[in-house]
């Protein structure tokens, strides 16, 4: 029987999930009345006792340092581990960034007719930002609990570990230990430069944000048992850039043994990364030339001025770590095939309308320009495929497939070929007031955490889906499977996955479109004799 306290859910109807929610509330209420002693505080750390939505108590540890400040002469160097527990009061500063993430929340609020004045604002920022937060049940357990480690998104340019959507109290109330970690973003986390590579014993640079995440996982492996977690059962999960980073963590040998399962929400593109260190070094060299400063001089610039220089001279849009011969000895697609790659269950998926809210009144010319990058036969196929849709939906479907759906399927296939179990989903739920932006990029996060903001219209169907998805994620973190095999099959040549909506069903995912877009997938939507392999639904989802 699962250790987490959430009841079994119904796959057939939302009413089953509502019943699940009632049962869960009763179980938590009963647990809160038991006389088990509270979890003892580890030496040097203190927690706040907070109450969850359904009345359960959870211990919340904020601002635990996992690495020393990467500032001054330590800017653009790998993180340095800590030797003893250190904790600040309140939430820690976010890593240095601009208002990109708060602007994203405002974009969502506008798309759902929400109150933009209530969206999260960028907190205080600092280079001294390598802290993590932990949520753990108050009750002692006879065994160590599964650990879920959240890695935030934000294009690797922004984001912080305690955005309201990411707070782990609701998940922890169900019997897991939740950790959210910070990492350097933007130029601070991903600048490559010949001078930086020369001073590295590995000849490497441009990957400091990923090295921060690895250092946080090392801290968790060493210390999480004192907070009730099982260092032998660690699941990393993240969305967007956080999920993209997990793709690199799955590939790099440096992270082998530090986690045992992974969940990638809207971010499978690491499998396509081919960018070499020399490419990033060239960009970094151009940046230093524009500023007229060497690396040592740039290390003396204040964080505020460095952020200004980034905005002025180093606006890349998204930061990936390069193939550097160390963190990434080879391209991720090749590393996924290495003989010593650990087999780890992976849950991964994307949202139906990842790109819709980023389209600003697109025109027919925009659609034609998007098609122009493809060969004539593929252009004709894509034109016929999407001709019945409005221009915005055409571009949404195409861009979402290129950047999210197809890389996700390619990652699932690579993992399957390497012997790991991969479970694929498509999040299709559109909130009642979100028709303009659909099942948007990031829409699934409040369902995973049970943290729907009051500026998001959330009805009973949304809460029912929340119960389902929290159960799936918790089950996966505990056992490596989000459901029984008859409910959620692993990825194979049948290309089956699960649609997450008010009616959660098995579906066949559209590999034909991905092949037209240049993704080399062996799985096919036209498997002979496979008409019943994806339960009652055989309609391919784009």
Instruction: Give the contacts of 436 (CB within 8 A, at least 6 positions apart).
Output: 111, 112, 356, 357
Mean pLDDT of the 55-81 span? 97
Q: Is 301 exposed, middle or buried (CB count within 10 Å of its CB: 0-12, 13-18, 19+)? A: middle
| Contact criterion met (CB below 8 Å) for 19 and 469 | no
User: Does residue 319 lie within any of the structural domains?
Assistant: yes
Alpha-carbon distance of 149 to 46, in angstroms, equals 20
User: Does residue 66 lie within any of the structural domains?
Assistant: yes
Provide the whole-model pTM: 0.91
For residue 85, how many other CB atoms are within 10 A of its CB? 13
Please pick, among 127, 163, 239, 354, the residue that the annotation labels catalytic: 354
Alpha-carbon torsion angle 375, 377, 378, 383, nearest 10? 120
Residue 292, helix vs strand vs coil: coil
Question: What band does 40 get if pLDDT is binned at 50, 70 and 90?
Answer: low
Looking at every residue in the chain, the average pLDDT score rounds to 90
User: Does residue 243 lie within any of the structural domains?
Assistant: yes
Alpha-carbon distance of 270 to 244, in angstroms, equals 6
Q: What's the distance, Cα to Cα, between the start and end of the chain in Å?
A: 36
User: Does residue 534 lie within any of the structural domains?
Assistant: no
Alpha-carbon distance of 141 to 534, in angstroms, equals 39
Pairing of strands 131-137, 177-181: antiparallel
For this structure, is 460 an active site residue? no
| Contact criterion met (CB below 8 Å) for 24 and 500 | no
pLDDT digits (tens, 9 = 90+) for 202-240: 999 999 999 999 999 999 999 999 999 999 999 999 999
pLDDT at 522 over 90: no
What pLDDT does residue 484 have? 77
Alpha-carbon distance of 61 to 58, in angstroms, equals 10
* Tally of domains in the chain: 1
For this structure, is 441 an active site residue? yes
Alpha-carbon distance of 268 to 503, in angstroms, equals 25
Alpha-carbon distance of 257 to 255, in angstroms, equals 6
pLDDT digits (tens, 9 = 90+) for 455-483: 999 999 999 999 999 999 999 999 999 98
What pLDDT does residue 535 have? 64
For this structure, is 240 an active site residue? yes
What pLDDT does residue 523 have? 67
Alpha-carbon distance of 75 to 208, in angstroms, equals 9
Domain residue limits at 403: 14-516
**Ramachandran category for residue 300: left, alpha or beta (phi over 0 → left; psi -120 to 50 → alpha):** alpha
DSSP string, 71-93: -GGGTTS---B-SS--B-SSSPP
What pLDDT does residue 39 have? 47
pLDDT at 394 over 70: yes
What pLDDT does residue 108 have? 97
Alpha-carbon distance of 344 to 418, in angstroms, equals 10
User: Does residue 396 lie within any of the structural domains?
Assistant: yes
Closest CA to 426 of 411, 448, 404, 410: 404
Q: What percent of the chain has pLDDT over 90?
A: 85
Token readout for 480 is: 């490596």
Q: Which residue has the higher pLDDT, 528 or 273?
A: 273
Alpha-carbon distance of 429 to 441, in angstroms, equals 12
> Which H, E and C letters describe 419-455, residue by residue?
CCCEEEEEECCCCCCCCCCCCECCCCHHHHHCCCCCC
User: Does residue 112 lie within any of the structural domains?
Assistant: yes
DSSP string, 489-515: PPPSTT-EEEEESSS-EEEEB-HHHHH
User: Does residue 498 lie within any of the structural domains?
Assistant: yes
Q: Please state the φ and ψ torsions of residue 373, each to the nearest 5 degrees.
A: -80, -5
What pLDDT does residue 525 have? 52
DSSP 228: T
Q: Which residue has the higher pLDDT, 443 or 532?
A: 443
450: Cα separation from own chain's centroid:
16
Q: What percent of the chain has pLDDT over 70?
A: 89
Question: What band does 140 get if pLDDT is binned at 50, 70 and 90?
Answer: confident
Pairing of strands 261-265, 229-239: parallel
Please pick, among 174, 180, 240, 420, the residue that the annotation labels catalytic: 240
pLDDT at 528 over 50: no
What pLDDT does residue 18 have? 41
Alpha-carbon distance of 125 to 302, in angstroms, equals 12
Please pick, among 223, 260, 405, 441, the residue that the annotation labels catalytic: 441
pLDDT digits (tens, 9 = 90+) for 116-131: 999 999 999 999 999 9
**Ramachandran category for residue 511: left, alpha or beta (phi over 0 → left; psi -120 to 50 → alpha):** alpha
pLDDT digits (tens, 9 = 90+) for 304-335: 999 999 999 887 767 899 999 999 999 999 99
User: Does residue 479 lie within any of the structural domains?
Assistant: yes
Alpha-carbon distance of 248 to 384, in angstroms, equals 36
Alpha-carbon distance of 201 to 293, in angstroms, equals 23
CATH of the domain at 115: 3.40.50.1820
pLDDT digits (tens, 9 = 90+) for 6-30: 433 333 333 444 444 444 444 444 4
């Amino acid at each position: 029987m699962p250790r987490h306290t959430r009841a079994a859910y119904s796959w057939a109807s939302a009413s089953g999930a509502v019943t699940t929610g009632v049962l869960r509330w009763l179980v938590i209420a009963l647990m809160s009345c038991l006389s088990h002693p509270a979890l003892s505080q580890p030496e040097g750390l203190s927690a706040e006792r907070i109450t969850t939505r359904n009345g359960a108590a959870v211990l919340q540890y904020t601002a635990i340092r996992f690495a020393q400040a990467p500032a001054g002469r330590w800017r653009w160097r790998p993180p340095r581990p800590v030797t003893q527990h250190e904790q600040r009061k309140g939430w820690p500063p976010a890593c240095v960034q601009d208002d990109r993430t708060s602007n994203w929340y405002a974009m969502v609020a506008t798309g759902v007719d929400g109150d933009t004045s209530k969206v999260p604002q960028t907190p205080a920022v600092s280079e001294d930002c390598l802290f993590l937060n932990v949520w753990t049940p108050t009750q002692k357990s006879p065994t160590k609990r599964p650990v879920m480690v959240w890695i935030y998104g934000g294009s690797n340019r922004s984001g912080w570990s305690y955005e309201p959507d990411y707070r782990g109290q609701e998940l922890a109330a169900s019997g897991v230990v939740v950790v959210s970690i910070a990492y350097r973003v933007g130029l601070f986390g991903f600048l490559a430069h010949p001078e930086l590579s020369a001073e590295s014993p590995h000849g490497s640079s441009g990957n400091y944000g990923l090295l921060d995440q690895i250092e946080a996982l090392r801290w968790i492996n060493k210390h999480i048992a004192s907070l009730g977690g099982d260092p032998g059962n660690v699941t990393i999960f993240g969305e967007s850039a956080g999920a993209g980073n997990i793709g690199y963590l799955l590939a790099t040998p440096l992270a082998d043994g530090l986690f045992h399962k992974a969940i990638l929400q809207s971010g499978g593109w690491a499998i396509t990364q081919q960018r070499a260190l020399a490419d990033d070094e060239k960009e970094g060299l151009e940046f230093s030339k524009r500023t007229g400063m060497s690396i040592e001089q740039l290390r003396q610039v204040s964080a505020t001025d460095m952020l200004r220089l980034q905005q002025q001279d180093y606006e890349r849009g998204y930061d990936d770590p390069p193939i550097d011969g160390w963190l990434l000895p080879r391209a991720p697609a090749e590393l996924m095939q290495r003989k010593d790659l650990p087999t780890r269950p992976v849950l991964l998926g994307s949202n139906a309308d990842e790109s819709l809210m980023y389209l600003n009144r697109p025109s027919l010319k925009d659609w034609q320009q998007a098609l122009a990058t493809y060969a004539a036969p593929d252009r004709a196929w894509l034109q016929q495929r999407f001709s019945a849709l409005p221009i915005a939906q055409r571009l949404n479907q195409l861009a979402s497939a290129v950047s999210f759906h197809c890389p996700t399927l390619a990652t699932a296939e690579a993992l399957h070929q390497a012997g790991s179990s991969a479970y694929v989903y498509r999040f299709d739920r559109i909130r009642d007031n979100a028709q303009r932006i659909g099942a948007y990029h990031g829409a699934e996060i409040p369902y995973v955490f049970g943290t729907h903001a009051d500026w998001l219209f959330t009805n009973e169907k949304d809460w029912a889906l929340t119960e389902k998805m929290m159960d799936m994620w918790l089950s996966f973190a505990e056992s490596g499977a989000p459901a029984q095999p008859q409910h959620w099959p692993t990825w194979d040549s049948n290309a089956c996955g699960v649609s997450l909506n008010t009616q959660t069903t098995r579906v066949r995912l559209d590999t034909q479109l991905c092949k037209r877009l240049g993704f080399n997938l062996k799985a096919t939507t036209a498997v002979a004799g496979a008409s019943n392999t994806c339960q009652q639904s055989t309609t391919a989802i784009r």
